[in-house]
Amino acid sequence: VDWSCLEGFALIETDFMYVAKCGLDGEWSEGEIVPYGPMQMSPAAGVLNYGQGVFEGMKASRLENGEVVIFRPDANAGRMQDGAARMSMPAPPTEMFIDAVKRTVAANERWVPPPGVGTLYLRPLLIGSGPILGLAPAPEYTLLVYCSPVASYFKGGQLTPINLAIADDMHRAGPGGTGGVKSA
């Protein structure tokens, strides 16, 4: 990998992704690592018609000793579970989520940049992949984890300070809505 070409927060396709399925019974299939690439999906998939999907984002970094570490996957699992509950979706158990993330990183370890160059950004998705015409939960769900090496989110790695006003008498998102979850 030519790390000198790594710039910003752009997608670089890696080798593999993780995929698991779940039906209405709430039982998850044994997830598997598959080659990264397009997914086949019905045009009636719940995520396409009703936005029934949630996502997360986290990073894996390479330390000076070569070890690869993942930043707080348990917190991301909890947030995905909260979002899944809000969107009427079966959530993967914490252990399954962490295993999916670790397996994705291990399968794509050659894409983890050296220390100081960047990180491997991980994007777990939980989507209503089964076809549904009426307004109801999808009959099938897919947990997908893919990744991409990234540099700093902001060009040049610099954050420009801004002035902010803090208001504690307003809500960022309406109570009971979907603004409090990372929904697709």
The residues annotated with a catalytic role in the active site are 182
CA distance 14 to 109: 10
Closest CA to 11 of 164, 182, 149, 179: 149
**Residue carrying the six token digits 């009426």:** 134
- End-to-end, the C-alpha distance of the chain in Å comes to 31
* Residue owning tokens 């220390």: 115
Contact of 119 with 59, CB cutoff 8 Å:
yes
Q: What gap in Å lies between CA 74 and CA 119, rounded to an integer?
A: 19
Which residues, 6 or more positions from 96, have their beta carbon under 8 angstroms from its beta carbon? 20, 28, 31, 143
Give which of 138, 108, 137, 135 is closest to 120, Cα–Cα: 108
